[in-house]
Structure 1
Amino acid sequence: MGSFALSPTNEKELMKRVGDIAGLTFGELAAQLNVKVPENFKREKGWSGQLIELALGASAGSKPQQDFPELGIELKTLPLSYNNQPLETTYVCYAPLTGLSGIHWETSNVKNKLQKVLWVPIQGEREIPPKDRIIGQGFIWQPNQRQQQLLQQDWEELMDMICLGKVEQITARIGEVLQIRPKAANGKALTDAIGKDGRPITTRPRGFYLRKNFTQHILDEVFC
Structure 2
Amino acid sequence: MKPEPQSEQELLERAKEIAGITFKELADEAGMETPPDLRRDKGWVGQLLEWHLGATAGSKPQQDFEQLGIELKTIPISYTGKPLETTFVCVAPLTGVHGLTWHTSHVRNKLSRVLWVPVEGEREIPLAERRVGSPLIWSPTAQQEQQLQTDWEELMELIVLGQVEQITARHGEVLQLRPKAANSRVLTDAYGASGKMIKTLPRGFYLRTQFTAEILQQNFA
> Shorter-chain-normalised TM-score: which range?
over 0.9
Name the structure 1 match of 2:161.
164
Deviation at 1:32, TM superposition (A): 1.2
Residue pairs, 1:21-170, within 5 angstroms = 21-170=18-167
Residue pairs, 1:173-192, within 5 angstroms = 173-192=170-189
Q: Residues 187-214 of structure 1, C-alpha deviation per residue, up to 9 Å, x if partnerless?
A: 1100000001211101000000000000
Q: Does 1:19 align with 2:7?
A: no
**SS of residue paired to 1:188:** coil
Deviation at 1:101, TM superposition (A): 2.0
- Provide the aligned C-alpha RMSD in A: 0.6
Q: Residues 117-168 of structure 1, C-alpha deviation per residue, up to 9 Å, x if partnerless?
A: 0000000011111110010011100000000000000000000000000000
Q: Which amino acid aligns with 2:106?
A: N
Q: Does 1:218 align with 2:210?
A: no
Deviation beyond 2 Å, 4+ runs, structure 1: none
Unaligned runs of at least 5 residues, structure 2: none
Structure 2 CA distance for aligned equivalents of residues 155 and 98 of structure 1? 15
Q: Which amino acid aligns with 2:39?
A: K
Name the structure 2 match of 1:207.
204
Structure 2 CA distance for aligned equivalents of residues 146 and 101 of structure 1? 26
Structure 2 CA distance for aligned equivalents of residues 187 and 7 of structure 1? 36
Q: Which amino acid aligns with 2:218?
A: E
Structure 2 CA distance for aligned equivalents of residues 94 and 203 of structure 1? 14
Structure 2 CA distance for aligned equivalents of residues 26 and 117 of structure 1? 21
Deviation at 1:54, TM superposition (A): 0.7
Unaligned runs of at least 5 residues, structure 1: none
Name the structure 2 match of 1:193.
190
Give the TM-score normalised by the residue count of structure 2: 0.99
Q: Which amino acid aligns with 1:52?
A: L
Q: How many residues align?
A: 221
**SS of residue paired to 1:70:** coil
Q: Which amino acid aligns with 1:185?
A: A
